[in-house]
């Protein structure tokens, strides 16, 4: 009875671990990772895009990623939208199949053909590419990353394992927002103007 109970508990633990395994797209501004980023108005920010697998999924760690594809729609949700001024696929993927961008769409796709000289994109976290954002005016820009081509498995490993079904399961997308805030000096100036206006208003009331 005790042996059976231990076996059942072990099975449940393994099932729970497998159920939690996932492969996700992540974002970083070089100092922090997450889904919400802030920068000063007028600043250019480099955003890094990676793919990450969670234990016990080890397909990217055991093998290596030979291809990927992402497409993002983006727009301002308040104020002015950030402007993409540069977009590149990581050097490990020596054949860039798409690294284009417009005022509302960003494409990031590549294949690692000459891995003997460019290295192996391998590990639990793999850098896919990066792009530069110019935050010329205050505002928040929202990015929505999804499947580059729903008819094609873009994320494929050296063992011919297709990962799109895991990454984009049930039409899943990966989002992040970046907000341009006024410079501290500008905020101080606005505060000063506000205090002066308030003082004048009180004086008139008196």
In a domain, 193, yes or no: yes
Radius of gyration of the chain, Cα coordinates, nearest whole angstrom? 23
Q: How far apart are CA 51 and CA 67, in angstroms?
A: 12
pLDDT in tens, the chain (206 residues): 444 433 333 333 333 333 457 999 999 999 999 999 999 999 999 999 999 999 999 999 999 999 999 999 999 999 999 999 999 999 999 999 999 999 999 999 999 988 766 778 999 999 999 999 999 999 999 999 999 999 999 999 999 999 999 999 999 999 999 999 998 754 444 444 445 444 455 555 55
pLDDT for 5 equals 35
Q: How many domains does the chain have?
A: 1
Owning domain of residue 72: 23-198
CA distance 179 to 119: 35
The pLDDT of residue 162 is 96
Asked if the structure places residue 59 within a domain, the reply is: yes
Decide: 132 and 45 in contact? Cβ < 8 Å: yes
Residue 8: per-residue pLDDT: 36
Helix (H) or strand (E) holding 129: strand 125-134
* Among the listed residues 137, 174, 178, 165, the one whose alpha carbon sits nearest the alpha carbon of residue 57: 165
Within-domain flag for 76: yes
> Does this model's pTM top 0.85?
no
- Asked whether residue 32 is domain-assigned, the answer is yes
SS3 call for 74: strand
In a domain, 44, yes or no: yes
What is the sign, positive or negative, of the torsion defined by CA atoms of 191, 193, 197, 202? positive
In a domain, 78, yes or no: yes
User: For position 113, what pLDDT does the model report?
Assistant: 87
Nearest to 123 by CA among 35, 23, 29, 34: 23
Residue 10 belongs to a domain: no
CA distance 135 to 40: 8
| Strand pairing class (44-53; 36-40) | unpaired
**Integer Cα distance of 16 and 18 in angstroms:** 6
42 in helix, strand or coil? coil
CATH label of the domain that carries residue 52 = 2.60.40.680
Q: Is residue 18 part of a domain?
A: no
């Amino acid at each position: 009875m005790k042996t059976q109970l231990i076996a059942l508990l072990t099975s449940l633990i393994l099932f729970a671990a497998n159920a939690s395994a996932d492969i996700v797209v992540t974002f970083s501004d070089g100092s922090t990772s997450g889904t919400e980023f802030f920068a000063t108005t007028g600043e250019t920010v480099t955003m890094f895009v990676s793919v990450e697998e969670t234990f016990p999924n080890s397909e990217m760690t055991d093998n290596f990623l030979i291809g990927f594809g992402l497409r993002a729609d983006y727009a301002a949700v308040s104020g002015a939208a950030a402007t993409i001024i540069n977009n590149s696929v990581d050097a490990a993927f020596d054949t860039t199949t798409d690294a284009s961008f417009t005022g509302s769409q960003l494409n990031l796709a590549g294949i690692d053909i000459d891995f003997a000289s460019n290295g192996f994109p391998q590990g639990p976290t793999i850098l896919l590419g990066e792009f530069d954002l110019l935050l010329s005016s205050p505002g928040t820009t929202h990015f929505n990353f999804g499947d580059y081509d729903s008819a094609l498995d873009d994320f494929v490993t050296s063992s011919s394992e297709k990962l799109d079904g895991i990454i984009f399961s049930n039409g899943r997308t990966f989002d992040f927002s970046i907000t341009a805030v006024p410079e501290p000096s500008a905020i101080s100036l606005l505060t000063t103007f506000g205090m002066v206006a308030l003082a004048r208003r009180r004086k008139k009331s008196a």
